[in-house]
Structure 1
Amino acid sequence: MGLKPIKLYWRNHVPNPSKVLIILEELNLPYETSWVELQGLKQKPYTDVNPNGRVPAIEDPNHNITLWESGAIVQYLVETYDKANKISYSTFPEKYLTQQWSYFQASGQGPYFGQAAWFNLFHEGAYGESPESAKIRYGKEIKRVAGVLDGVLAKSTWLVGDKCTYADLAFTMWNSQVAFIMSSRTGEHAWNPDEFPNFTRWQNACLGRDSVKKVLSVLSEKG
């Protein structure tokens, strides 16, 4: 018997739901999407799915489970459905190194890149002010995270082992937003991808995967 579609709750212009979409595509899993309007995030019926009121969340009828938090969703999908280890490892120490990078993405990339996006792009419109100190702080964090990755990737093609894993792909959608997030920054605060050649090469390799290209196409169509 074939798998029933996994339901993904999502909205565009938010990298974390796209992270889950990429994994669904990589594992060739059947899925359907449910668009959540901004005003619907913090109220029922969506808060019955995710009491935190954010996307993504999934409902998997194959195992009767509802999950939210993109990192937890990705780990669930990989452990449940990637039996061939297409984008994961079951060997030691690779399995745990992959988890390490996945947690770094969830704690060290996503939140800081998101704060940089907020203060560079949206804070002034919401509050009528533009805090330069916050822009500097989170811009530095983007460069710091990129530098950590660049240093590791100077020694290897991928973060772990000899193949692209879910950990590499977890970074892709936030990385793809950096030029836009930092577009207003100039001088020493500007984003220059040439300063991070290994990071840039790796990101381009991730962008070249069929799963990522399909997701980017879907996002473009959704607008």
Structure 2
Amino acid sequence: MSKPITLWGHAGGPNPWKVIIILEELNLKYDHKMLEMSDVKKEPYEKICVNGRVPAIEDPNTGITLWESAAIIEYLIETYGQDKDLTFTSGPEKFLVKQWVFFQASGQGPYYGQAGWFAHYHPEKLPSAIERYREHVKRVLGVLNKALEGKQYLVGEKCTIADLSFIAWDMMLPWMFGEAWAGLDVENKFPNYFAWNKRLLERPAVQAAVKAKAAVSKI
């Protein structure tokens, strides 16, 4: 019997929840240790993640300590997803999954993060910055909407980590946009994306993460 994996995270940030969705999908035991934001850039956590960011994992079954959510997800799938239902291991699909995982890490997360920062945390209200990053969010939604035309999932005919990587950040969109969210009219402007997102949110593993996050975070 495998030992629980330690996952280091904090309540509000989406990237730890991104990893939790995969842990839940794989039915793995884990211990979610939540840090205060003020603790991620100092010892003892910096010995685990020199970058001072969450998430990070410590896996007592293999001895690995690993940070960066996309790397963690790939590690979990390759180590514990023996049936590989959530990925492809050959053919073009193997690399198409990686393409979308990398796009999420480089093209969704940073822009969504900046949209949230300038809307809620930046000490000065900078309308131009808020508008810039909200437009980037819309662009990402448009990319996904176009890619999903006539498709249920991003790669092949099944749900993979390519799809599930996006959910944790997407759950924060209403918070990022605030009162402007309703006016975005996602259901009608991005119908393929909207149906896909709804489909993913209905998965039991995603629901477990949503429920756990709601218990500890208002974001």
TM bucket normalised to smaller: over 0.9
Equivalences for 1:33-182 in 2 at 5 Å? 33-123=32-122, 127=123, 129-182=124-177
Residues 85/186 of structure 1: CA separation in 2 closer, same or farther (3 Å cut): closer
Distance 2:82 2:91 in 1: 16
Q: What amino acid is the match of 1:132?
A: P
Question: Equivalent residue for 1:195?
Answer: 189
The CA deviation string for residues 129-164 of structure 1, in whole angstroms up to 9 with x for no partner, is 211111111011000000000001112100000111
Give identity over the alignment, percent: 45
The CA deviation string for residues 10-42 of structure 1, in whole angstroms up to 9 with x for no partner, is 111111000000000001111111111122111
Contact 2:16 2:54 in 1 (8 A): yes
Question: Equivalent residue for 1:209?
Answer: 203
Match status 1:220 vs 2:211: no
Q: Which runs of 5+ in 2 are unaligned?
A: none
Q: Comparing both chains, which one has the higher relative contact order based on Cα–Cα distances under 8 Å and sequence gaps of 6 or more? A: 2
Q: Which runs of 5+ in 1 are unaligned?
A: none
Q: What amino acid is the match of 1:205?
A: R
Residues 26/186 of structure 1: CA separation in 2 closer, same or farther (3 Å cut): closer
Contact 2:6 2:57 in 1 (8 A): yes
Aligned-CA RMSD value: 1.3
- Taking structure 1 as the reference length, the TM-score comes to 0.94
Q: What amino acid is the match of 1:192?
A: D
> What secondary structure is seen at the aligned counterpart in 2 of 1:182?
helix
User: 1:183: Cα distance to partner?
Assistant: 1.7
Residues matched between the structures, number: 216
> What secondary structure is seen at the aligned counterpart in 1 of 2:193?
helix
Runs (4+) off by over 4 Å: none
Distance 1:43 1:184 in 2: 36
> What secondary structure is seen at the aligned counterpart in 2 of 1:87?
coil
